[in-house]
Every structure is written in C-alpha cells, then in structure tokens.
Amino acid sequence: MAKVYFISGIDTGIGKTYTTGYLARQWNEQGISTITQKLVQTGNIEISEDIEIHRQIMGTDLLEVDLEKLTMPEIFSYPASPHLATEIDGREIDFSKINQATEQLKEKYQVVLLEGAGGLMVPLTRNLLTLDYIEQQKFPVILVSSGRLGSINHTLLSLEALKHRCIELYALAYNLNDESQDEIISKDTAMYLKNYLSCHFPQAQWIDIPCLSDH
C-alpha cells in the first residue's frame, strides 16, 4: 500500500522544497516509485513553483500528474500564509479536492511526499492549523531542520508539538544545503539533535540532505 509522508519544516525557508525534491530523486533512483505533491501553493497562478523545483531536482520536466493538477490541487495568487492568501483570492481551500488528488497519486506511486507551507503551526484557515490537518490525516512527518543558529530551539518546539498530538515522526531531515550555516554550530547542532532523537524519538530516522553537487 502506498505511503504518504508529510514534509514540514521548523520554519519558513528552511529547505522543505529542496528536501522534498531531493528525497524524491533519491528514492526513485533506489527503485521506490515516488511523487511529490504540494498541499497548498501560495504566490503563484496556474503552476506551483515548488512542484517545478521538485521536478528540476528530480531531473524531469513537468509530469502528466502535474498537468492534471493532481500534484498542485490548490494554488492561490498572494504570497502569504494560506489562511490569508485564500481570503485575498476570495475562495476557500477545497480539502476534499486535495485528499482526492492524494488518493489518486497513491494509486500510481509507492510514495507520495506531501509538502506543506511553512512550519507545523502555519494556519491553513482561521480555524485549522497545518498540524491539525496532519493529525486528521494521520500522516507520518518528515521534519526539515538545519544547522543554522536558532534551529535547535525551533526543532525541539516542533518535535514537542508532534509528540503532544501523538503524530509519528518518520524522519528528521538535516538540510546541509542551507548556506546560512556556520560549520562549527552546524556540527554541534547535528550532534545535539541526533542525541535528542535517540532519547525521545528512537524510531525516527536521521536523513542528511546534502547539496546535489556533493552527492
């Protein structure tokens, strides 16, 4: 049965899109049929730029499922949090449309990597957080972090939120492609977070996300 992993991050701009494309490329190369999907795209019209970036990293053009909008079912024009972007465009998120698209992708692929917008607590509507949606759907999470200064705090807060909701952490993806990292801080942060995972999330995987040019 196909698996859906929800890709979230500890903050905006932490590297969710790069990580999603990288993992899809890696898993496809390993023979695991993998597709990416964007939960809600803001700041675009017609085509999701995040899906385009995924495909560039994966080394493909837009796929048939992209042209059918299964991978980008909800796009809003204003570059803001989904709860605001939807209000500016004057229409609500159609969650049944998103869920149906995910189910159709599950019929075609072994793995769906569903990328969220921003972090776990980003509001999708005035009354629904991203974390609420993940909990409702029971998706395991791949949480993207990095070694930038401040990421320990943001990562632990995100992990506590997952634990509080009893949401499975499948993996912590450590984005080494983050140019804002100090090497000394990054190495110590990785060591600290690996130890934290082993104590509090022993079933979770640790995934290093290097630059593609380094791989």
Cβ neighbours around 7 below 10 Å, total: 26
Q: Which residues are catalytic?
A: 38
Determine contact, residues 40/125, Cβ cutoff 8 Å: no
Is residue 118 marked as binding? yes
- Residues 17/148, Cβ–Cβ less than 8 Å: no
Q: Give exposure, 190-204, as e/b (b: 16+ Cβ within 10 Å).
A: beebeeebeeebeeb
Q: Is 17 annotated as a binding residue?
A: yes
To the question of whether residue 147 is assigned a binding role by annotation, the answer is no
| Ligand-binding site membership of 13 (annotated) | yes
196 is in an annotated binding site: no
Residue 108 buriedness (CB in 10 A; 0-12 / 13-18 / 19+): middle
For the CA atoms of 19, 43, 112, 195, the dihedral, rounded to the nearest 10 degrees, stands at 40
Contact 186, 147 (CB under 8 A): yes
Any known ligand binding at 117?
Answer: yes
Q: Is 190 marked as a binding-site residue?
A: no
- 116: annotated binding-site residue? yes
Q: Does 138 appear as a known binding residue? A: no
Question: Which segments are annotated as binding site for Mg(2+)?
Answer: 17, 50, 115
Known binding positions for substrate = 42
List the binding residues for ATP. 13-18, 50, 115-118
Residue ranges of the annotated binding site are 13-18, 42, 50, 115-118
